[in-house]
Amino acid sequence: MGSRSSGKSRSATGHTSIKDWPADERPRERLLRLGPQALSDAELVAILIRAGTRDKTALDLARSILAEVKTLRGLATRNARELTRLKGIGNAKAVEVLAALEIGRRIEASEDSTQCIIHNPSDVAHRMIPLLRDRPTEVFYLLALDAKNGLTTELEISRGTLNASLVHPREVYKAAIDNIAASIIVVHNHPSGNPEPSREDIDVTRQLAETGKIVGIPLHDHIIVAGSRYTSLAEKGFI
């Protein structure tokens, strides 16, 4: 007669399924009982990806993913194609992870209640760093302001390496006019982590500033975000 198994039950492939764990050890039940702050990074990722593979539980898979990307910040820098290259991550799991990370970015960047008033470059950085610091490619944003420097519109203009052909003053100011901007600020990121402006950054800034004088919608600043740092081209004297 075969011996009765004890402890956590195992699947035919030899790994323990999370649903067979004691309830107080399962990530979802632990979150409900203790709150999300009590969970490890791996447990939170396991909840997002929901299911493991034939050989790994969702928690094992989450640990493998974090070992590959090093940190949650590393996970946040990956796009869908890069995520699906990780073993055990298909399109569905990648979409769920990316959606959760984007929700976190938007919550951190959003204002709680009253309209966002831009007083200085740090106000712009406070809003835009959460949206841009983990982007793997350059993204160019237009911030449209009203007559009292209140932010009325936040609009992505383009993606890709910044240059005069990619970010043309015509496209930027068309968006500004369409959104009834009294003035504008533009923002883009440097995935390299270096916030210093390139020659292309300076050239584009000067073109936008000159166009703003002609159309009567001044460019107040061009902010470069790099990780958690930023540079104001207005403060550097380029506007």
pLDDT score of 20 = 65
Domain boundaries, the chain: 18-107, 115-232
Query: Average pLDDT, whole number, for the chain?
Result: 84
Return the CA Rg of the chain.
Answer: 23
- In this predicted model, which residue has the larger pLDDT, 143 or 2? 143
Let me know if domain 18-107 sits in CATH 1.10.150: yes
Query: Of 1-15, 35-49, 69-83, 129-143, where does mean pLDDT reach its minimum?
Result: 1-15
pLDDT score of 13 = 45
pLDDT score of 102 = 83
Residue matched to tokens 């699906």: 84
Amino acid found at 71:
T
Confidence of residue 112 (pLDDT cuts 50, 70, 90): very low
- In this predicted model, which residue has the larger pLDDT, 190 or 26? 190
- The model's pLDDT over 127-174, given as tens digits with 9 standing for 90+, comes to 999 889 888 889 999 999 999 999 999 999 988 766 554 688 999 999
pLDDT score of 146 = 95
Rounded CA separation 30/9 (Å): 20
Contact between 66 and 75 under an 8 Å Cβ cutoff? The reply is yes
The predicted model scores a pTM of 0.60
Burial status of residue 236 (CB atoms within 10 A of its CB: 0-12, 13-18, 19 or more): middle
The phi, psi pair for 156, rounded to 5°, reads: -80, 125
Contact between 116 and 123 under an 8 Å Cβ cutoff? The reply is yes
pLDDT score of 68 = 87
Question: 3-class DSSP state for residue 232?
Answer: strand
- CATH number of this structure's domain 115-232, picked from the four choices 3.40.1480.10, 3.30.420.10, 3.40.140.10, 3.20.20.150: 3.40.140.10
